Chain A
Amino acid sequence: MHLDATIATFLIQDGLTNGAVYALLGLAIVLVFSVTRVIFIPQGEFVAYGALTLATLDTGNVPGTPKLLLCFGVAAFLLDLWSWRRDLKVDALVRNVALNLGLPLLIYGAVLYLAPLQLPSVVRVLITVSIIAPMGLYVYRIAYRPLADASVLVLLITSVGVHLAMLGLGLIFFGPEGLRAAPLHDGSFSMGPLLVTAQSVLIYLMTILIMIALYFFFEKTLLGKALRATAVNRLGARLVGVRTQLTGVTAFVLAATIAALSGVLMGPITTIYYDTGFLIGLKGFVAAILGGMGSFPVTAIAAIGVGMVESFASFFASNYKEIIVFGLIVPVLIWLSIGAVHHEEE
């Protein structure tokens, strides 16, 4: 089969759709890395949890994630108790119980009540995000907060551990079968030879919307500026009273929210298994690396590029699709390593 205009436009649309999701994931990775120096490998699990939660809600059943959220909350609660074993303050304990036990119980109760009702898809998406986003909080509390001063390497190893743990938990709570969520909107329209689904338009709109929201958060709010400040100068940020924990939690909750939304957007266009998220997350990671792990705009553009390369590679050399995509990193790493040597000489 030869590449003709129809196929090319189809591939471009496909690449753009996937690229938009990769852009979101890449942004979340850059966000988490610049603020906490954590390479957010478990992101893929958040994506899978998001997609699988939505797909389960579509069938009117209660997904496993609220129960998992409750387990995370209990673990965070116990860890906090342990860290306060020497001086326990009542007000801190009350806050702790509300955040670590009250919040997941509330979400669990709400999901139990809401899941069987035939709710519109937008509400199902909101439920999904409100289940997954707090997981960022607890994962940070359980795995990363005790290591706030550790080296990047230790944090990376931790990330691999968290990824494997969440992968296993995904299998327990969702089982090995893949699920596909219902499209958020069924419609489609044709543009010349091209059939554009409402879902892909939704993906573009959502990506742009999230980027604009992130822009405003980082440029206009004090908390957003504090996150940037932490990324620029960690000591400087502490000296003005910005707590490392606060920026860490914020980065993780934002990243979990973005990952959950990415899962929600991906869920209806491809079948998601408990372990599918990792590969999707890696594509976002490739984009983040192409952006030097620091630049939001370059990451977003690179992500579209990754989507395009993947889409065309699957047409020309489908067996080598992943190799080609991940091969994109190599020249960039060489380029960055040349830059790094130069930097050390200064």
Chain B
Amino acid sequence: MSRNLLELTDIHVSYGRAEVLHGISLAMRPGSIVTVIGANGAGKTTLLNAVMGVIPSTGAILYDGVPVPRSVEARVAAGLCLVPEKRELFSSMTVEDNIELGGFLRSASERGETREELYARFPRLAERRKQLAGTLSGGERQMLALARALMSRPRLLLLDEPSLGLAPKIVADILNIVSELRKTGVAILLVEQNARAALEIADEGYLVELGEVRRSGPAAELAVDPALMESYLGAHS
């Protein structure tokens, strides 16, 4: 029996005196896609930031069966990688440099190899490799953020609202890419407001409301749940 890649137990996060996550528990298997859905302000982004170590949290985060290292940088080295909501690209540097820096902790030969794979996967970025990241369109920036993250050869990719602010056509493209990434063996923890689309590509789903897990289960089941449909999926569509 294979053990869980990521196991969160009773995660609490506070901003000052206000607690925003009240004990979240979550488990995911290697190579699976798990999505966390919920309304704005439910604490989804906070959860991803806590897993990455960008913000402090209490509770247990087991990665591959052992407690995750403390610093963000050590977590990257261990195979976690966050694509944040705001992308956090190096806007005054070229696409090429952004991608190369994604592999900062990898050897030169690994970097070269992964880079060629990524340019094949994202031909758009290959075309624009000499362009400054700040001049890219929204969809291209998201692709670059994804590519930069993949350069670190993560085993667990944390995606925060990859579809935010993008046109529907591009959202479909991005989510296609995400579900294709699964074939490379990387596990994905996907935070999305676009619950319907997220549940379509995910194996498991967690519904988070006001900092607590309200529902969880196989994504296919959640997607047809009448109550959930009503409040998050838009029953009329």
Contacts and interface: CB of A to CB of B under 8 A. Distances in A.
Interface of A: 222, 225-226, 228-229, 232-233, 235-243
Contact of B90 (A229, A238, A241, A243): A229
A235 B101 contact: no
B77 to A, nearest CB: 6
B45 to A, nearest CB: 13
B60 interface: no
A238 B73 contact: yes
A236 B89 contact: yes
B162 to A, nearest CB: 15
Contacts of A229: 90, 93, 97, 101
Contacts, number: 65
**The 8 nearest A-B residue pairs measured at CB:** A241-B76, A236-B88, A241-B105, A232-B90, A243-B73, A229-B90, A238-B72, A241-B73
A237 B82 CA distance: 12
Given A233-B88, A235-B54, A236-B88, A242 B104 contact: yes
A233 B148 contact: no
Given A233-B88, A235-B84, A240 B104 contact: yes
A232 B92 contact: yes
Contacts of A236: 88-90
7 contacts: A225-B97, A232-B91, A236-B88, A239-B81, A239-B84, A242-B73, A242-B104
A235 B90 contact: no
Contacts of A238: 54, 72-73
A252 to B, nearest CB: 19
Given A226-B101, A235-B84, A240 B91 contact: no
Interface string B61-102: 000000000011100110001101000111111000100111
B101 A225 contact: yes
Interface size bracket, B side: 20 to 34
A226 B105 CA distance: 11
A225 B100 contact: yes
Given A240-B104, A241-B152, A228 B72 contact: no
B195 interface: no
A222 B100 contact: yes
A229 B92 CA distance: 9
Interface string B86-126: 00111111000100111111000000000000000000000
A233 B90 contact: yes
Given A225-B93, A228-B93, A232-B93, A241 B104 contact: yes
A287 to B, nearest CB: 21
Contacts of A239: 52, 54, 72, 76, 81-82, 84, 88, 149
Interface string B119-152: 0000000000000000000000000000011011
A233 B71 CA distance: 17
Contacts of A242: 73, 101, 104
A179 to B, nearest CB: 43
Residue of B103, B104, B105, B151 most packed against chain A (CB within 10 A): B104
B104 to A, nearest CB: 5
Given A233-B90, A235-B84, A240 B54 contact: no
B101 A222 contact: yes
Contacts of B72: 238-239, 241
A237 B72 CA distance: 10
Residue of A237, A241, A242, A243 most packed against chain B (CB within 10 A): A241
A240 B102 contact: yes
A148 to B, nearest CB: 11
B144 to A, nearest CB: 11
B16 to A, nearest CB: 16
